[in-house]
């Protein structure tokens, strides 16, 4: 049986109070195992991004239990959550969030600086990560010298640099054209085959269909969970 990386048990998330309370998540149950490639789908307001934020330890549930690698996160301090994010999670967003005055290599090694990895190992691992995403020739280029697809590859290399237990991608192809989208999805396929566990949020069927499992959200609930 594969190792359970993350589990959400009876997760609720509400915003506001009294008559102005909005229920973003309503009794969510979901398990993510090592080696999974899960697409989270749903319309705007369905709860998929809220679920991603809880899985990524960027937000806390209002009720229920969320465990990452068997660690319940709801009682952890902000500093402890930040440490878990840096050591166990990798993030890829629709906007690339690269430092404009830093090279591709400098952007990639940034999480290792926060994690306390020494300089010699940082550069070596950064070069390998860029090689893995097909950008070894571009490591000294700055973001404005790279195409959108290349910038997203740098962001993916940065996300996997600390060997996360879970790679979280929130609409990672939303800012890309169809050809570049295919290239980035091919890269996610490759990373998944190398053993990386991926959770990808999308509203596009063709993107979700590249995953091995699909969870469909509506009105804060999972209405369908299926193998793909």
Q: Where residue 150 sits, what CATH number does that domain have?
A: 3.40.50.300
Q: pLDDT tier at 94 (50, 70, 90 boundaries)?
A: confident
Question: Taking the CA of residue 113 as centre, how many other CA atoms within 13 Å lie in the half-sphere pointing to its CB?
Answer: 8
Q: Is the pLDDT assigned to residue 221 strictly greater than 80?
A: yes
Provide the angle, in degrees to the nearest 10, between the axes of the packed helices 148-160 and 104-114: 20
Beta carbons of 108 and 157 less than 8 angstroms apart: yes
pLDDT in tens, 152-210: 999 999 999 988 999 999 999 888 888 889 999 999 999 999 999 999 999 889 999 99
Predicted local confidence at residue 191, as pLDDT? 92
> What pLDDT was estimated at residue 18?
76
Task: Quote the pLDDT of residue 156.
Answer: 94
Q: Which domain holds residue 135?
A: 4-227
How crowded is residue 78: how many other Cβ atoms within 10 Å of its Cβ?
Answer: 9
pLDDT at 212: 95
Distances (CA, A) of 203 to 1, 33, 116, 134, 152: 30, 23, 37, 27, 18
| Cα-based distances in Å from 135 to 78, 119, 143, 146, 151 | 34, 21, 12, 10, 10
pTM: 0.91
pLDDT digits (tens, 9 = 90+) for 69-86: 999 988 889 999 988 898
The C-alpha atoms of residue 226 and residue 228 are separated, in whole angstroms, by 6
| Torsion sign, CA atoms 126, 182, 33, 224 | positive
How many distinct structural domains can be found in the chain?
Answer: 1
Which backbone phi and psi does 122 adopt, to 5 degrees? -60, -50
Q: Is it the case that residue 116 has pLDDT exceeding 80? A: no
Helix/strand/coil for 185: helix
Residue 74 in tokens: 């709801």
Check: CB of residue 2 under 8 Å from CB of residue 32: no
Question: Looking at residues 40-54, what average pLDDT do you find?
Answer: 93
First-last CA distance in the chain:
19
pLDDT for residue 197: 96
User: In whole numbers, what is the pLDDT of the chain averaged over residues?
Assistant: 92
CA atoms within 13 A on the CB side of 18: 1
In this predicted structure, the answer to whether residue 113 has a pLDDT above a threshold of 80 is no
């Amino acid at each position: 049986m594969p190792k359970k990386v993350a589990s959400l048990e009876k997760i609720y998330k509400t915003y506001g109070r009294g008559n102005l309370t909005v229920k973003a998540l309503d009794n969510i149950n979901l398990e993510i195992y090592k080696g999974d490639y899960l697409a989270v789908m749903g319309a705007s307001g369905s709860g998929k991004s809220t679920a991603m934020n809880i899985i990524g330890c960027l937000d806390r549930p209002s009720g229920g239990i969320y465990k990452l690698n068997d660690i319940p996160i709801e009682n952890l301090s902000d500093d402890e959550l930040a440490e878990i994010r840096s050591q166990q999670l990798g993030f890829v967003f629709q906007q690339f969030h690269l430092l404009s005055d830093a090279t591709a290599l400098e952007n990639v090694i940034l999480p290792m600086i926060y994690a306390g990895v020494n300089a010699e190992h940082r550069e070596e691992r950064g070069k390998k990560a860029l090689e893995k995403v097909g950008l070894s020739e571009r490591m000294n280029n700055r973001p404005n010298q790279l195409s959108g697809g290349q910038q997203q590859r740098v962001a993916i290399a940065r996300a996997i640099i600390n060997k996360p237990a879970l790679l979280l991608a929130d609409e990672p192809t939303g800012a890309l054209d169809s050809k570049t989208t295919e290239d980035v999805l091919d890269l996610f396929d490759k990373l998944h085959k190398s053993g990386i566990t991926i959770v990808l949020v999308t509203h596009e069927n063709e993107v979700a269909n590249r995953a091995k499992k699909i969870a469909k959200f509506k009105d804060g609930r999972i209405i369908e969970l299926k193998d793909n």
